[in-house]
Amino acid sequence: MSSTPYPFDTVPLSSNLATEIVGLDLAHPLTSDTISALREIWVKRGVLVFRDNDLSDEDHIRFANYFGTPSETNTQSDLDRDPRILLISNIREDGKPIGALPDGELQFHSDSAFHEKPLMATSLYGVEVPQQGGDTLFSNTQEAYAHLPADIKERLASLNAVNAYDFKTQVKQGSYDRETGPYAIHPVVRTHPETGEKSIYVNRLMTEEVEGLSKPESDALLEELFEQIEDIEFRYAHAWKPGDLLLWDNRFVQHARTDFPATERRLLRRVGLIGDKPF
Ligand SMILES: [Fe+2]
Task: Give the SS3 label for residue 75.
Answer: coil
Within 10 angstroms of residue 247's Cβ, the number of other Cβ atoms is 23
Give the side-chain half-sphere CA count within 13 A for 252.
26
Distance 270 CA to ligand 1 centre (A): 10
Distance 47 CA to ligand 1 centre (A): 13
CATH number for the domain harbouring residue 90:
3.60.130.10
Average pLDDT over residues 157-169: 86
- Predicted confidence (pLDDT) per residue in 1-35, tens digit: 887 788 899 999 999 999 999 999 999 999 999 99
Residues in CB range of 23: below 8 A, 6 or more apart = 7, 8, 9
Within 10 angstroms of residue 90's Cβ, the number of other Cβ atoms is 22
pLDDT at 242 over 70: yes
The number of distinct structural domains making up the chain is 1
Give pLDDT, residue 52.
Answer: 97
Structural contact between residues 121 and 247, judged by C-beta atoms closer than 8 angstroms: yes
Is 194 domain-assigned? no
Is 73 domain-assigned? yes
Q: What is the DSSP letter of 276?
A: P
Distance 229 CA to ligand 1 centre (A): 15
Distance 109 CA to ligand 1 centre (A): 6
Average pLDDT, the chain: 93
β-sheet bridge partners, residue 50:
245
Distance 151 CA to ligand 1 centre (A): 31
- Predicted confidence (pLDDT) per residue in 167-198, tens digit: 666 666 666 777 777 899 999 999 999 999 99
Distance 137 CA to ligand 1 centre (A): 10
- Predicted confidence (pLDDT) per residue in 91-148, tens digit: 998 888 888 877 889 999 999 999 999 999 999 999 999 999 999 999 999 999 999 9
Residue type, 236: Y
56 or 165, which is more confident? Answer: 56
Q: 274: pLDDT confidence band, cut at 50, 70 and 90?
A: very high
pLDDT at 276 over 90: yes
Q: What is the DSSP letter of 160?
A: E
Angle at 163 between CA 247 and CA 65, to 5 degrees: 25
Is 18 domain-assigned? yes
Is 125 domain-assigned? yes
Give pLDDT, residue 77.
Answer: 55
Distance 10 CA to ligand 1 centre (A): 25
Distance 75 CA to ligand 1 centre (A): 16
Is 198 domain-assigned? no
Is 68 domain-assigned? yes
Report the percentage of the chain scoring pLDDT > 90.
82
- Predicted confidence (pLDDT) per residue in 41-94, tens digit: 999 999 999 999 999 999 999 999 999 999 997 665 556 788 999 999 999 988
Give pLDDT, residue 2.
Answer: 81
Domain hosting residue 72, numbered range: 2-103+119-131+240-250+263-273
Residue type, 6: Y
Those residues whose beta carbon sits under 5 angstroms from the ion ligand 1 are: 111
Give pLDDT, residue 99.
Answer: 84
The dihedral sign for the CA sequence 200, 120, 42, 104: negative
Is 126 domain-assigned? yes
Is 11 domain-assigned? yes
Give pLDDT, residue 148.
Answer: 98
Distance 106 CA to ligand 1 centre (A): 8
Residue 211: burial class (beta carbons within 10 Å; 0-12, 13-18, 19+): exposed
- Predicted confidence (pLDDT) per residue in 212-233, tens digit: 999 999 999 999 999 999 999 9
